[in-house]
Structure 1
Amino acid sequence: MGEHLAMDIGWVLAAVVLVAVLLFGLMSLRRWLLELGGGTVECSLRELDSGSGVWRLGIGRYVGDELQWHRIFGYGRAPRSVVHRRGLMVINRRTPSGEETAALTPDAQIVELKDGDHTLELAMSMAALTGFLAWLESSPPGWPIDLQSSI
């Protein structure tokens, strides 16, 4: 009886490990597919409208006039949040403070944005922020871009 129980437990543990490896493989494949076309940057996002104030790690992907944000630990192909370049306002730029320093990468810079009625913050490296601001400023002529004086 003990042999069969040990063998059953072994099969269950092997199945659990196999499922964990498959899930990790799917997440890795998803990230590779997101980064395949280029125009991606690692960035954290915090939605100020929701009231939760939680930083979520993700990948920003530039697609035309949108920055599509995908959670880094996820399986879906659809973006969780989309930042539209047209009418986007950059409200503030700052370095992480307090508990944010533990949640974000050491070289992170935070930029607060207003996209219509939606207010959010993006945290990214200085190089990624420079690229984001260049993408924002390179919009077609006649598009309203509002970079506040604090930038």
Structure 2
Amino acid sequence: MPAALWFSLGFLIALLLLALILLGVLGMYRIRMILHRVGSFELAIKKSPEDSWTSGMGLFNTHELQWHRTVSLSLKPGVELRRSTLTFSDPHRRPGSDVVEVEARDGQSTIYMSLREASFHAMISWADSAPPEEAEIF
């Protein structure tokens, strides 16, 4: 194989490695950026009881609870639950752990959550302290 071809192949491999490293750094920065916001916490969800848990980060916002997938480059939340219509089932504690599982309903949709008990109590307080909403006239 000619030297120019080896050089081109090596350059291409180096470029791919650099792109992978850059994606990893951007992903870590995204996680750090979300977790350093006030009101963020670890939160795993699943959309049905048969699904497996997907790890992520919850974030209390003024009008909704946002969930961001851990392994993603998107800055947009994967799930948004409206604060005004959000209800929770009783928490079920995992044996030997401070993690609880709870069912959350936002109007028609149901999400299953797994989070630390302290985060669950913070979420209940946040949901209960919602400001009253004014009725729309039009």
Contact 1:88–1:113, Cα closer than 8 Å, also in 2: yes
The equivalent of 2:78 in structure 1 is 80
Letter in 2 for 1:10: G
* 1:18 correspondence with 2:26: no
Q: Taking structure 1 as the reference length, what is the TM-score of the superposition?
A: 0.74
The equivalent of 1:38 in structure 2 is 38
Residue 113 of structure 1, aligned match among 104, 107, 110: 104
1:71-121 alpha-carbon deviations (Å, 9 max, x no partner): 111111211111112122212311348xxxxxxxx6421111111110111
Comparing 53-62 with 26-35, which one deviates more in the overlay? 26-35
In the alignment, structure 2 segments of 5+ residues that lack a partner are 134-138
* 1:54 correspondence with 2:48: no
Between the two proteins, what is the percent identity of the paired residues? 26
2:10 match: secondary structure: helix
Distance in 1 separating the partners of 2:93 and 2:2: 59
RCO comparison, higher one (Cα < 8 Å, 6+):
1
How many positions carry a matched residue from both structures? 132
List structure 1 segments (4+ residues) > 4 angstroms apart after TM superposition.
2-6
When the two chains are superposed, the root-mean-square deviation of aligned CA atoms in Å is 2.4
In the alignment, structure 1 segments of 5+ residues that lack a partner are 98-105, 143-151
